[in-house]
Amino acid sequence: MFERIKKAFSRGSRDAEGPPSQLSHGPVSEWAGTQGFAFSVDGANQGIALEGKIGGRPWRIQLGRPTRNYILGEEVRARGELGIDENVAILIMNRALKEALEKRAYQIYTDNLQTSVDSSLPEEMRWLAMFQEVGWEGLPREFWERYSVLTDRRENAMAWIGDSLAHLALQWPKPGPSAEVPFMVLLMNGKAYLRMEYTPADIATLQHASLIFTTACESALGTFRR
């Protein structure tokens, strides 16, 4: 199940970038206008960017070249400057990516020829070492089959991940990303983050990823606002 992600680790950064998506700027710009989002072409990232505010706090979503070698093609990433309690640390990661990262970390640390940690390794590996996986009743079984939740305080995760956020994480518009497509949402240092592979590369995927992210931001602001 994890072969596609595992193989991506052996690809160089040039291979990981892949060709630009065939999604034109027009449909995204039009959709952004209907939502009240600011739209811009991100030349440095060879992609596009959307900006908005939620609860008076700014967020930005970018679509462009990947910054992780386990992401093939293009990457959707988002950041929200929420100003919430900086002690809150919660990570939702699709289980396929978590297990692939864990296997990769194990290979590195048990390799007798490995004299130092590769600086190109994603910081997500540190998150897996820092956080413990938690679970609880009340969310659909399908959510726990597809995603892993890691945190240092289970009660914070339970407060943040309600029915609405869990439902959106499962209800991708068809054909939608498979359970193996890299995906994560994170709260850390008072900010919210999203990172995922842009597969399938269509506007419905981008729209739904944006909805998941803004819903995660709303929930965080309502739960952990200082």
Residue 117 CB neighbour total at 10 angstroms: 12
Stated pTM of the model: 0.86
* 15-66 per-position pLDDT tens digit: 444 444 445 578 899 999 999 999 998 766 668 999 999 999 999 999 999 9
Those residues with Cβ within 8 angstroms of residue 139's Cβ, 6 or more apart along the chain or in another chain: 161, 163, 166
**Which structure tokens are listed for 95?**
């289980």
Q: So what's the pLDDT on residue 99? A: 93
Q: Which of 10-14, 25-29, 51-55, 221-225 has the lowest mean pLDDT?
A: 10-14
* 139-174 per-position pLDDT tens digit: 999 999 999 999 999 999 999 999 999 999 999 999
Q: What is the mean pLDDT of residues 178-205?
A: 96
Nearest to 147 by CA among 159, 130, 133, 137: 133
Q: Tokens 């400057």 map to which residue?
A: 81
Q: Could you give the CA distance from residue 63 to residue 42 in angstroms, rounded to a whole number?
A: 8
- The domain ranges of the chain are 3-224
* 101-131 per-position pLDDT tens digit: 998 877 776 765 554 545 556 788 888 988 9
Q: So what's the pLDDT on residue 1? A: 45
Three-state SS string over 77-143 comes to EEEECCCECCCCCEEEEEHHHHHHHHHHHHHHHHCCCCCCCCCCCCCHHHHHHHCEEECCCCCCHHH
DSSP state of 148: E
